Amino acid sequence: MHPKNRHHDRYQLKQLSLASPGLLPFITINKYGDETIDFANPQAVKSLNQALLKFFYDINYWDIPDHNLCPPIPGRADYIHSAADLFDQKEHLRVLDIGTGANCIYPLLGYKEYHWKFVGTDIDKQSLVNANNIINKNELTSFIELRHQPDAKSTLRNVILPNEFFDLVICNPPFHESLEEAASGSRRKWKNLGKSSTKNVLNFGGKGAELWCPGGEKAFILNLIHESSEYCSQVNWFTCLVSKEESLFTLKKALTKLNRVQIKIIEMSQGQKKSRLIAWKFDQPTK
């Protein structure tokens, strides 16, 4: 976990519940005598997120509709801090978040940690409605703007305006290649938590475009790489989360075919979970 991540220690659930009382009903004692929650209960996980955002980041309101992706805060914070390390001057950057979702988590964390300004995009209008509600209720409209992406096959096109400049692009791409694969992944998560799920297995981890796209994360990132060459003068660093290590060879090969590009792979880990960022920039004036 990144040294600046606020979540190195175990969750102090009773302390968190003082900041966010809605968490208290979900706290139980496990067989080892430790405080815990049922991580297979979406309402418990959402209440934990609300408490973490309130206690550590002073986010007074955060909510998502049922079935939308409930992001793990420590992992999302790791992305923000790892991306910040690409810059000598880390504060007050202008950032484009591709697929900000209903939860708006990266803009919230990026603003609270580094005072970054964000443009968040998504193909799902209802997700943007919910994200906008979060922004309004936390009085962050001066710092976070939302834009609808009308083309599900595009990442940067339609949302980067002419003569507009971003210091950083961030993206957490859909992981799975199909709805069936996403459902299978959710069933594995339920099983690992000692639970069974016979209906609506996607409730554990999100819906639709949050979870899958044709070709999965590799195809999504390859498209982002392809489009990035069109905006090389409008973006300093492009970054994207890569969950599958085996995707890196293909992604780096695609990047080396572009002219004068720097490539960095940033390893990240939270407990036993390992992931990485792929970052690239074009060696030419960007302003």
* 120-137 confidence digits (pLDDT tens): 999 999 999 999 999 999
CB 19, CB 9: distance < 8 Å: no
**Given this model, what pLDDT does residue 271 score?**
75
CA angle at 73 for the pair 68 and 75, rounded to the nearest 5°: 105
Selecting from 3.40.50.150, 3.40.50.1370, 3.10.20.90, 3.40.1280.10, what CATH number does the domain 61-282 have? 3.40.50.150
Look at 11-15, 149-153, 157-161, 215-219 and tell me which has the smallest mean pLDDT.
215-219
Residue 126 DSSP class: H
212-221, 232-241, 250-259: least confident range: 212-221
Q: How far apart are CA 253 and CA 247, in angstroms?
A: 10
Contact by Cβ (8 Å): 85, 158:
no
Nearest to 21 by CA among 29, 31, 13: 13
Confidence of residue 204 (pLDDT cuts 50, 70, 90): very low
Task: Say yes or no to pLDDT of 257 above 70.
Answer: yes
Q: What pLDDT is stored for residue 192 in this prediction? A: 52
CA distance 151 to 6: 36
Q: CB-based contacts of 124: which residues, under 8 Å, 6+ apart?
A: 101, 102, 208, 209
Query: What pLDDT does residue 191 have?
Result: 52
Local structure of 47: helix, strand or coil? helix
- Could you tell me where the DSSP H helices lie in 86-157? 105-114, 125-137
Q: Cα(285)–Cα(136) distance, rounded to whole angstroms?
A: 36
Domain parsing of the chain, residue ranges: 61-282
Predicted confidence at residue 67, as pLDDT, reads 83
Q: What does the mean pLDDT of the chain come to?
A: 88
Q: 125 and 148 in contact (C-beta within 8 Å)?
A: yes
Amino acid at 157: R
Query: Which residue's structure tokens are 């996607």?
Result: 202
Helices (H), 20-63: 42-57
Q: What are the pLDDT digits (tens) for 75-85?
A: 999 999 999 99
CB 247 within 8 A of CB 221: yes
For 119, what's the count of Cα atoms within 13 Å in the CB-facing half-sphere? 17
User: Distance between CA atoms of 63 and 97, rounded to whole angstroms?
Assistant: 19
The pLDDT score that the predictor gives to residue 269 is 86
Q: Report the distance separating Cα 101 and Cα 214, nearest Å.
A: 18
